[in-house]
Amino acid sequence: MSIKVQQLAKHFDKQKAVDGISFEAKPGRILGFLGPNGAGKSTTMRMLTGYLKPTSGTASLAGYDVQVQALEMKKIMGYLPENTPLYTDMYVKEFLLFVANTYKLKDAALKVEETIKKTGLTAEQHKKIGMLSKGYKQRIGLAQAIIHDPEVLILDEPTSGLDPNQLNDMRELIRNLGRNKTVILSTHIMQEVEAVCDDVVIIHKGSIVANDTIAGLKAQHSGATLEEIFRTLTYS
């Protein structure tokens, strides 16, 4: 159930935010989607998830064209946006039950319980979302993305704003999810890529400048660190 991107482009007036990129993310692997600020990561992810219409090109998730088969695609896809829109007046458990019901899940209450456990929200489940810390809000964002057990997960900076303990928990959770799903995650943190990802795509000014496994990328750059490789490829 791979993610296939072919010649995908998004232009905002004259600006080529994403300029004809192609890559594939494979099942059972985690692909790190990297790039400096403004490189086009979020724009790409928003196109992959059907929230933004491409100027040209195509993308498919598990064989579903994201534009033509948006409804089918959304059932098998989980998305953690950069800023998760959460209903701050709802209670954690209530919100997740609401999400579960939008997917018309059988055993919704059980799914909510399992997801709360999986994302470490047990102690917070009866609190209002608006009262939670950023890290716990991030966990709710992940919980709503995985509650329907999607085959494909798209995570936009999933660990931004987390403390080192939460960071560790979140990375472990993502690694576990990656075992039987296709995962794309964007991040600026190279340690995270080393800790979590199998494959790497680096985007710079809307174009792909690297597309390889981590080991392959390092071999190509004579054993340089990922951070050095990132700087070499995106410094200008």
Ligand X SMILES: Nc1ncnc2c1ncn2[C@@H]1O[C@H](COP(=O)(O)OP(=O)(O)OP(=O)(O)O)[C@@H](O)[C@H]1O
Select 20 or 120, whichever has its Cβ closest to ligand X: 20
3-state helix/strand/coil string of 97-118: HHHHHHCCCCCHHHHHHHHHHH
The label of the residue with tokens 């059972």 reads: 28
Determine, following the binding rule CB under 6 A, whether residue 135 of this chain makes contact with ligand X.
no
Determine, following the binding rule CB under 6 A, whether residue 42 of this chain makes contact with ligand X.
yes
How far apart CA 30 and CA 153 sit, in angstroms, is: 9
Q: How many residues bind ligand X (CB under 6 A)?
A: 11
Please answer whether residues 26 and 40 qualify as being in contact, where contact means their C-beta atoms are separated by less than 8 angstroms. no
At residue 169, φ and ψ (nearest 5 deg) are: -60, -45
Determine, following the binding rule CB under 6 A, whether residue 111 of this chain makes contact with ligand X.
no
Cβ-based neighbour number of residue 99 at 10 Å? 20
Please answer whether residues 33 and 44 qualify as being in contact, where contact means their C-beta atoms are separated by less than 8 angstroms. yes
Select 40 or 141, whichever has its Cβ closest to ligand X: 40
Q: Which of 39, 48, 108, 233 binds ligand X (CB under 6 A)?
A: 39
Strand partners, 4: 24, 60
* String of contacts with ligand X for each residue 51-90, x by CB under 6 A: ----------------------------------------
Taking the complex as a whole, how short is the minimal distance between the CB of residue 220 and ligand X, in angstroms?
23
Site for ligand X in 189-228 (CB under 6 A): none
Taking the complex as a whole, how short is the minimal distance between the CB of residue 43 and ligand X, in angstroms?
3
Determine, following the binding rule CB under 6 A, whether residue 154 of this chain makes contact with ligand X.
no
Please answer whether residues 207 and 20 qualify as being in contact, where contact means their C-beta atoms are separated by less than 8 angstroms. yes
How far apart CA 183 and CA 69 sit, in angstroms, is: 20
Site for ligand X in 9-28 (CB under 6 A): 12, 15, 17
Taking the complex as a whole, how short is the minimal distance between the CB of residue 205 and ligand X, in angstroms?
9
Residue ranges binding ligand X (CB under 6 A): 12, 15, 17, 35, 37-43
